[in-house]
Every structure is written in C-alpha cells, then in structure tokens.
Structure 1
Amino acid sequence: MGNTAVVVGAGIGGLAAALGLRRIGWEVTVVERARILDDAGAGISLAANGVRALDALGVGTEVRAAARGQYTGGTRTPGGSWLARMDGTALERALGTPIVGIPRATLHRILRAALPPETLTIGAELTGLDHSSLSPDRVRVHLRTRAAEGSPATESHLDADLVVAADGVNSRVRALLFPEHPGPAHSGSTVLRAVTDRPLDLPTDFEITWGRGAEFGHIAFEDGRAEWHAVLNSPPGIRHADPLAVIRGRFRGWHRPIPDLLDATRPEAVLHHDIHELVTPLPSFASGRVALLGDAAHAMTPNLGQGACQALEDAVVLAACLARHDRTADTADTDSTDSTDSTGVLAALASYDAERRPRAQAVTVAARRAGRMGQQLSHPAAVALRNAALRLAPSGAAVRMILRHADWTPPSLPQPSARDGRSVE
C-alpha cells in the first residue's frame, strides 16, 4: 500500500497505534523524546474494553499471561469496613474477562516487543508540523534529536501521509493544532504511587479506601508484588523531600494491608505527579492529516481506571477507520476521488473523530464526577452520606457501573500475514 505514518510518543497509546497501523499494512515510525526508555510507572488496571482492544491489536494473549485477574476486592473505609465489593467472577461471566492488573513497565515491553526495533526512534523531540511545503496529501514532522544530555542537537524531518499525536497530557502537537485551547487543567488532586520491592500475601486482588479528601488503593500483580497509590486533595506543585514518610503520616491508623504495602516500598521508588485533565473538550480529535489519541485527545482523571483503556480503543478504531476508507479509496472511480485524499486518510480521520470523540469525552466527564463523589469528597456529612448510599446499594451495582464503560466491542482489523505482520485481505 505504501502508506506511511509518524506516531509522536511511545507510551501505551502511541505503541498501540503503531501496532494497529502496522496490522493494516502501514509503514510506521514512532518518535519518542526520552533518550532512555526506563519504563517508569507503577501499575495499571485494564477493564474488558482495554483487554479486547489488545486482542484486536494481536497482543492480548501476552498481556493476559503477564497480568493478574482482579476477582476480589472493592471499596473500604479507613477503619477497614466494606462500602462495596467487586465481583470479578460476575464481570468475567458478563464480558469474558475480569479487570486485570499489570505493571506498566511490563505492558510497555509487551507492546514494544510486538514492533520491529527499527520502528522506534528515541531522543527525538517534535519541534513543528508543516503542511505548506509539501503536497496536500503529506505532512512534515520536524524533529530535534540529542544523543546525550548536553550533546549538540541534530535537526531533521520526516514526511508522512499521517501523523498520530500520542504525546500525552501536555501534548505539543495539540498545542500546535489548537492554539486557542486552554490545555490541561489541574484536577485538584495529586498522586503518589510505587511498586513494592517484594511480594506480599495480600487478602484481595484490588482495593480502594476512601477517607476525607484522600484515597489509598492497591493492585496485586502476578508475581506477588503490588502497586499502591495514594491520591490526595492538593494544589499543584507541592513536593516532599521524603514522600514515603509523608504518606506514612497521612495514612497512619488506616487498615491493613496499607502499612504492609508501605513497609515493602523503597523510598526512592515513590513517584509523585499532579493529576491534570482536559476539562475543556477538544472540538475534534483530528486536524488535517493529524489524529490525536489518548491523553493528547482526552486526558482524564484516573477515577474510573479508563485512561489507558480509552487510548487502546482509540488505537483500534483509528486503524479500522483507515483500513475501511483505504479500501474505499482503492475501489473508487478516479474521477470521483478527491485528489488531496487519494488514500482516504481525511475521510478516515473524520470517521475516527465521529466514532471516538463522543465516547471518550463522555468517559472523561464520568471520571471527573466519580472523583468528586469519591476521593475528592472531604466534608464529613457528605462523606457519611456517600458511604451510607454505597452500603445500601444493590450487590450488583458495582458490576453494572463497570459494565457501563467496559462493555465495548472493537471493530475487526485485517489479519497480518505470517511473513511481515502486514495485513492480508
């Protein structure tokens, strides 16, 4: 086919997009500004929609083998009483898979391993996009590359039929395409998280505990270690010399296994990030021959565990739209084909925007509301009212809430050939 794409960003969404594009026969280059891929991050939960997307991209089996199903757990109070229990078995019956937990580093490695090594270019920072100097059906990506800190920069460019912006919440591409958009806003919360240094004997696969303006949760991994996260109401920019000590103090007296998780953590392993989101929705997930994907398009709070899942959905739908419209362009009468869109890219991106933007932006709003009624709630009376409502809710309410977002079926993608991973009809 000869179609070429540049994916900006080698996170979960960018790597998934590259897999989807290669699966439909595109030549892909992924550019990543980091010079060292240290796979920093803690853990991640993937609901059925995320796992199904990985199946469509051809890596679901590997991810399932490395992940741990979240069958037991739920939501608790700081004293340890249960507000709601999660039934992973019921979710598996309904959707074919429970929620699964996996280290982010492991997921990154699985996605990268499914791509040819030459696909990825690291240490390359995007400095601009240019349509004007090329024909209307190409876009130029300007890059600045440094081999090491302090080394001279090398300027270069790549020309492509498509650019996929998967460069995160502070997306440079989004700022170039939508200069009037206000960009990400601080959510009012900050998160500290880590992976334990050793396995623990945990009683549940997954838990969240809500206090006043604070949340502590854990995800158990297949190897016995666990990710924990602590989310606090906080203004942006506050950092601590000893964040683990701060967490110990803030959650002192909370139920087990919270103190056990902290005891199993090295202080230097704690990551600290303020949580930002796109409160002002984008008017489109596409501009010209550029598609926005994942946090670049719809950064959301983590309260529903849907951020990565929505990025994976983006990747599959983008590939499916391109495959569908490419076939349409191939069979269209020459006189009726737009000369600036001979491969159907513009039509495909219009379909991608129409399919993805309403759903992803609705999930973004739902996540924000979940945070306000969950972790961010701080008034004692409001917390007591919420807790009472959760205790009185029917036993299947938690499953139904998860199904609302996780029950998604991906479009089918062409099967790759055994020779080189390109699609076959």
Structure 2
Amino acid sequence: MQREQAAEDIVIAGLAVALGLHRKGVRSVVLESSPTLRTSGFAFMTWTNAFRALDALGVGDKMRSQHQQIQGLRVMSSATGEIMQELDLRVQGKRGPHEARCVSRNELLRALEEELPTGTIRYSSKIVSTEEDGNANILHLSDGSTFRAKVLIGCDGINSVVARWLGLAKPSDSGRTATRGHAKYPEGHGFEPKFLQLVGKGFRAGLVPCNDADVYWFFTWSPSPDAAMKQFVLTKLRSTKVPPQVLEAIERSEMNDVLAAPLRFRSPLSLLFTSSISKGNVCVAGDALHPTTPDLAQGACTALEDAVVLARCLGEALLRTGGDGAAAEEERSRRVEAGLRQYADSRRWRSVQLTGASYVVGFVQQSDHAAVGFLRDKLMSTVLAKMVLMMPDYDCGTLSSSGAC
C-alpha cells in the first residue's frame, strides 16, 4: 500500500546546494537515503576553487580553522625515489593566491548541516525512481512513500537515479581501483605540511596531513587484487623507493579506516554532446553530473562549484517570480526551466575538462609502460605537476545576482 504523498517545492539530494538556496532565501528539502549523514572516504583535498565556493556558502573560515594549509606538492618517482617536481601551493594564480587543505568530510558535512534550518534534511529517504507529472516530478522512495517535487535536483552520487532518468550516459569503469585510508597520530605525526605524490610502477599513491594528528593517504592500481587490502598496498609499496614514513602511516590505519572502490567516470564526450544535464524542472550536480577519477583531486571541489552556480541560477529565477494563480505558476515553471538551463550550459565545459584531464593525468602518472614512463619522468613531470594547479585556478562567483550563471 502506497503511503501518503508529500508535496515540496524543491527536493534535493545534496547539502551544499540546499545551503546555497537557503542563503538566497529559498526553502528546500534534502532527501538523505541513510539514517544519518554518511561519508564515502575520510577526507578530500580542498583547493582554491573549493574554498571560494565554501566562502560563498559561508563556511570557508570554519574549515580553515580546523585544517592546516598545505604549503607544497612533492612528486616522487616510486621507481627511483627521486623527487621529480616540487611546487609551492601558495603561489599566485590568475585569480589570487592558491590555497589547499585536506578537509575531513565529516567536518564539512557537519558544518553545512549546522547552517541549514531544522527539518531541512529528511533521513532514511532513498529515491528509487521518478516520473513526470505535469510541471512536477513524483519521487518514489524505498519505504513506499512519494514526494511531489516542483523542482528536482539530483546530487545523488555516481549511481544517481536522477541522472539515469535524464538519460545521462552510464559511468564507465576506468579499469583502476582506489584504496583510501586514515592514519591517526594522537601525539602528532610530524609530517611537513606538504602533499606527497608517488607515481609510476603501475600504481599511483599519495599522502597528505589534515591537521596535527590526522593523515590521509590513497593508493590506486589496476587490476583489483584478491589479497587483504592493507597488506596488498604495503607489499606493493615496500618493493619501491617509498619513504618509510609513508609505510608507517598505512600500517597505523585501522581496517575500518581503509576503503576500496573501483574508479569510474562519465565520458567527457558524452557530457560534451548530451542535452540531458537539465530537463524542464530537473537537473543534476556533483558526482551525479561528472563522476571522475581522483587524479586531480577535484571531484568534491567541482561539486562545491556546482552548488554555488546552481543556487545562484535557480535562486535568481525563483526570486523574480511571485503571485498566485495559473499564470503565475506557468511563469514560475518557465523561469525555473531557464535557470536550470543556464546552470547546465555553464557547467558543461567545466565538467568535460574535469573528467577528461583527470583521466589523462591518471593514465600517465600510473602507467608502467616503458615509453610512457620515460616521457613522464624525463619530460612531462613539470607539466603534470602544474596541471594540478590549473584546475583550481577558477572562481565560481558568489551567490549574488552579480555572478554570471
């Protein structure tokens, strides 16, 4: 038996978009499939572009106070142990000085939640399907209840129900797997505030401190092994010229702080030519729009950009409408559709850049092919390292109407 239908103007599966709309004075509801806020992975690199988005949302300084600034990037050959490239991550970019911190996902989600009105998030509300109903969408939830949404924003991850309904291409398997872990040092880790990357030998790895006591590490490889995850990573790294402090960080990680998942991405060509980023009153953002390999550490950062641009475009469209009656409702629907279309047009090329560049950088840095390895180590290391700073040198603007959609 189907439960009673609930009606909402704007239904979202993402906290950052909801907060952006709240800052614009627009109410929304967030459907969260789990009983509580959940995370995938311990932390993520948060670059200049993400902090500009967090500042627009009003939580940037809170994140800065909890996470140390990463001062440099060091790229090391896993085959020789040589430093291939070092970059200062505080240098001046085209739009101001760069900034990088490794931010805890839990801390970020908690900060976003605290800024939202009570009752915005509805837990244990997993969307299983959606269908059109005039100028609205009917959302069917796993518990049998339904929502009628006048605006539907899918920020529901790589397996997005909303992206599937829009007809976006199914994410492709990159043929690689990533393991991520969290090492705890209650008495202090002593690592420099630098992001260490290890490339070559058929894998790619990295380590970065979050604060004085927490260190985040990752390891990507192909194909997926059958061995115990942490032991596999240690075995692979011990056969290389990896610094002993890296091995210690992995050994310190508890198994519940070690996660592994296949790396998938949406083809940049499908994003370039599809018209399905938005349709009527429905659109997608974040991993639902541009799932990507993590090789530029930009997936979450670009999702925060999406949130600001989408909240600006949609918020301005809604704030320009008013009144009651059929004519006002029709005008409202028209403006919503136009606002979402503006957002989609704005984010299309950025999403293509992200997915394409990340895939290429990962392929080159991880390859154990002799020719690719030679070119990488001798000729391309500087270019690849600087590409890490190219993507963050971007400003999504503020939530005000002065920011272009």
- TM-score category (smaller protein): 0.7 to 0.9
| Residues 180 and 258, structure 2, Cα contact 8 Å, conserved in 1 | yes
| Structure 1 residue 407: Cα displacement | 2.0
CA distance in 1: counterparts of 2:94 and 2:152, whole angstroms: 39
Corresponding residue for residue 184 of structure 2: 197
| Structure 1 residue 127: Cα displacement | 2.4
| Structure 1 residue 97: Cα displacement | 4.1
CA distance in 2: counterparts of 1:92 and 1:278, whole angstroms: 29
Range 96-105 or range 314-323, more displaced: 96-105
Corresponding residue for residue 376 of structure 2: 386
Question: Does residue 367 in structure 1 map to residue 368 in structure 2?
Answer: no
Question: Does residue 353 in structure 1 map to residue 344 in structure 2?
Answer: yes
CA distance in 2: counterparts of 1:292 and 1:172, whole angstroms: 10
Corresponding residue for residue 407 of structure 1: 393
Q: What is the alpha-carbon root mean square deviation over aligned residues?
A: 2.5
CA distance in 2: counterparts of 1:218 and 1:174, whole angstroms: 33
Corresponding residue for residue 106 of structure 2: 105
Could you report, residue by residue, the CA deviation over 1:104-127 in whole angstroms, capped at 9, with x for unpaired residues?
Answer: 222222222222341111111112
Range 93-102 or range 311-320, more displaced: 93-102
Question: Residue 158 of structure 1 aligns to a residue in which SS?
Answer: strand
Gaps of 5+ in 1: 9-13, 146-154, 416-425
| Residues 91 and 98, structure 2, Cα contact 8 Å, conserved in 1 | no
Corresponding residue for residue 244 of structure 1: 230
CA distance in 1: counterparts of 2:395 and 2:169, whole angstroms: 33
| Residues 138 and 148, structure 2, Cα contact 8 Å, conserved in 1 | yes
CA distance in 2: counterparts of 1:174 and 1:40, whole angstroms: 20
Question: Residue 227 of structure 1 aligns to a residue in which SS?
Answer: strand
CA distance in 2: counterparts of 1:239 and 1:157, whole angstroms: 41
CA distance in 1: counterparts of 2:154 and 2:304, whole angstroms: 14
Match of 2:137 among 112, 136, 139: 139
Question: Residue 68 of structure 1 aligns to a residue in which SS?
Answer: coil
CA distance in 2: counterparts of 1:4 and 1:49, whole angstroms: 30
Corresponding residue for residue 288 of structure 2: 296
Size of the aligned set, in residue pairs, is 384
| Structure 1 residue 212: Cα displacement | 1.8
Corresponding residue for residue 130 of structure 2: 129
One-letter amino acid matched to 1:363: L
| Residues 248 and 259, structure 1, Cα contact 8 Å, conserved in 2 | yes
Could you report, residue by residue, the CA deviation over 1:30-75 in whole angstroms, capped at 9, with x for unpaired residues?
Answer: 1111224343422211111111011111111111112221102321
Corresponding residue for residue 151 of structure 1: none
CA distance in 2: counterparts of 1:44 and 1:75, whole angstroms: 18
| Structure 1 residue 306: Cα displacement | 1.0
| Residues 214 and 231, structure 1, Cα contact 8 Å, conserved in 2 | yes
| Residues 313 and 343, structure 2, Cα contact 8 Å, conserved in 1 | yes
Corresponding residue for residue 4 of structure 2: none
Question: Does residue 169 in structure 1 map to residue 158 in structure 2?
Answer: yes
CA distance in 2: counterparts of 1:3 and 1:172, whole angstroms: 18
Cα–Cα, structure 1 residues 40 and 182, in superposed 2: closer, same or farther, change >3 Å?
A: closer
Cα–Cα, structure 1 residues 320 and 239, in superposed 2: closer, same or farther, change >3 Å?
A: farther
| Residues 92 and 98, structure 1, Cα contact 8 Å, conserved in 2 | no
One-letter amino acid matched to 2:139: V
CA distance in 2: counterparts of 1:21 and 1:3, whole angstroms: 14
Corresponding residue for residue 227 of structure 1: 216
CA distance in 2: counterparts of 1:117 and 1:84, whole angstroms: 48
| Residues 77 and 84, structure 2, Cα contact 8 Å, conserved in 1 | yes
Cα–Cα, structure 1 residues 47 and 200, in superposed 2: closer, same or farther, change >3 Å?
A: same
| Structure 1 residue 380: Cα displacement | 2.3
Gaps of 5+ in 2: 1-6
Could you report, residue by residue, the CA deviation over 1:179-233 in whole angstroms, capped at 9, with x for unpaired residues?
Answer: xx54011111101111003242213421110122201101111133100101102
Could you report, residue by residue, the CA deviation over 1:387-421 in whole angstroms, capped at 9, with x for unpaired residues?
Answer: 01146x48xx845x344322222333249xxxxxx
CA distance in 2: counterparts of 1:84 and 1:120, whole angstroms: 44
Question: Residue 35 of structure 1 aligns to a residue in which SS?
Answer: coil
CA distance in 2: counterparts of 1:324 and 1:17, whole angstroms: 14
CA distance in 2: counterparts of 1:372 and 1:211, whole angstroms: 10
CA distance in 2: counterparts of 1:203 and 1:63, whole angstroms: 20
Match of 1:218 among 191, 207, 210: 207
| Structure 1 residue 131: Cα displacement | 2.3
One-letter amino acid matched to 1:381: A
CA distance in 1: counterparts of 2:289 and 2:162, whole angstroms: 10
CA distance in 1: counterparts of 2:39 and 2:369, whole angstroms: 38
Corresponding residue for residue 11 of structure 1: none
Normalised to the residue count of structure 1, the TM-score between the two structures is 0.83
Cα–Cα, structure 1 residues 232 and 290, in superposed 2: closer, same or farther, change >3 Å?
A: same
Match of 2:305 among 313, 335, 343: 313
Question: Does residue 58 in structure 1 map to residue 58 in structure 2?
Answer: yes
| Residues 93 and 393, structure 2, Cα contact 8 Å, conserved in 1 | no
One-letter amino acid matched to 1:115: L
Range 222-231 or range 91-100, more displaced: 91-100
CA distance in 2: counterparts of 1:112 and 1:343, whole angstroms: 31
| Residues 41 and 105, structure 1, Cα contact 8 Å, conserved in 2 | no
Corresponding residue for residue 253 of structure 2: 265
| Residues 283 and 340, structure 2, Cα contact 8 Å, conserved in 1 | yes
Could you report, residue by residue, the CA deviation over 1:210-258 in whole angstroms, capped at 9, with x for unpaired residues?
Answer: 12220110111113310010110215xx554x21111111111432122
CA distance in 2: counterparts of 1:229 and 1:351, whole angstroms: 36
| Residues 329 and 342, structure 1, Cα contact 8 Å, conserved in 2 | no
Normalised to the residue count of structure 2, the TM-score between the two structures is 0.87
